Structure 1
Amino acid sequence: MSKRLVPSMTALQCFEAAARHLSFTRAAEELHLTQSAVSKQVAQLEDMLRHHLFLRIRRRLQLTPAGSLYLAEVNKILTQVDMSSRYVLTYGEQTEILKVATQPSFGVRWLIPHLKGFGKRHSNIHLDIRNEMEPFALLQGSADVVFFYGQGTWPGATCVELFREEVVPVCAPELLAGRELGSAAELAELVLLQSTSRPEAWHEWFLEQDLQSVSAYHGPRFDTFYMALSAAQTGCGVALVPRYLAAKELAEGSLVMPWNHAMRSAGAHYLAYAEHAAEVPKVRALVEWIHEQLQA
């Protein structure tokens, strides 16, 4: 096996500080080292990489192209190490960390409200919830449990269906200016807010009502339903979103349905975990908790 090119943390810190200050002297002051020690660490790093990281011009430092490229990667590494170190400090020896990945809108509107009380029952389990637009975290090992929307077929994973959904058009009341639409076709005259994750949604919604609209693919596009909802609330147009995401606003009246047609989505929301993790206590605890919430 070839030798790994893994420089010391000291060398990386010296390089990062010198690159940030463009000065070995100021880097040394920050790191409480001598100027020669910082210079030596950087020189050793350059020898290892076989590239100059700095140009020394009239007692001033300037990053080379290789140095700029390396700095971006080193910053990521040092940031991750710092975050991981602070992360460990927040937990006790008896605590387990359960890493959960979820799509942003689902996490905000459904998952987090349904986690109320979980920490009280399982005080030894700390949840680490992260936004994931695609459900690949489980395969990459960066999550223990993943919540995703799709078809529920995932090799090597157990997928538990949570619920199916229906999507409905919503907009701010003032967008309609007090009028009632006479047909779904009139909706195409308004600005249709598009979803990046479901680009066919409006086309399919119109098609269900035997309508074709050239406007089905036109309009501002948003990465998340949550952003589309916000845009709809401010009067930017009509959003086509899962009903559960807009339930609060519809009940409050800050959003209305301009046309009362709900379309059942092709997929469903799932909870997934690796097959080999089925009996892992922390995973089982969350799976059972979510099951209880669905039965409540």
Structure 2
Amino acid sequence: MTAYSLYYFLKPILPWSLRMGMRRVRGRWLLKKSHDVWPISPGSDKIPDGWPGWPNGKKFAFVLTHDVEGIRGLERCRELAELEKELGFRSSFNFVPEGEYRLSDSLRTFLTQEGFEVGVHDLHHDGSLYASERSFHDQSPAINQYLRSWNAVGFRAGFMFHNLEWLHQLNVRYDLSTFDTDPFEPQPDGMNTIFPFWVPGNDSRGYVELPYTLTQDSTLFLVLQETDYRIWSRKLDWVAAHGGMALLNVHPDYMNFSGNPGPSEYRASLYRDFLVYVKRRYQDICWFALPRDVADYVAPFKPVRRV
């Protein structure tokens, strides 16, 4: 059993405070070690071969996604959606099909009718999907069934595990399981690009990979214990200046809307204030898009990531 396999085996019985304490110690070490590749990785601004530019002359794209990990996150989805609606944003909510909750038809209908997108987030969210190629193969049919029944076209694996070749087993138009640079993830091999790119299959099929390019909220506010959104805004400004895709993933599980966050939460106002910043500074030059919109736009051009 590998160290990571052991961790995910023990995770359900380890207290949150112990797990987070371990992540914070590791995070401080990685912060010093990775200053030259995070939050900006040199060379990640290389324009992919075959890149068409953004639609309607927009300078860059801004994409919001949410991974709903547990019951607490599920209960906060509507409040998060209302916050974004108020500011004129829409996002994708990715749900775990067979985790500690079940996605109701009423919530899924509410989100889609209000202009949000619904995607699939892993199958069990227990670290088992990528335990082996066999495990991925065995779980793929169930994931594909949920993709069909939810009318979803996108996927993100738990813990950002990824194997772009194995993902061809899923019937998706796009995947969200990678990033440009993120040394804090358990599988830290970044794509080193701030652009979407095409992942071809053995036949004519393929899918679009959409790496996240803004640090995840859990890393920023819980692991690194930042108290403002400056790391987000500085990276956003850099992505915008280089014409890339600013893709952010935040978790309703960790957002506190009452103004009195617990140890495993941060104030939702931090996220709201960042969205206000984005809208105020970039409203006229940015393409605000759902992941499926970006994938549908990019797919015909099949841009190739430059390494």
Please state which band the TM-score falls in when normalised by the shorter chain: under 0.3
Work out which of the two has the higher radius of gyration on C-alpha atoms and give 1 or 2: 1
TM-score, length-scaled by structure 2: 0.23
Higher relative contact order (CA 8 A, sep 6+): 2
Q: Which has the higher helix share?
A: 1
Q: TM-score, normalised by structure 1?
A: 0.24
Structure whose residues are more often strand by fraction: 1
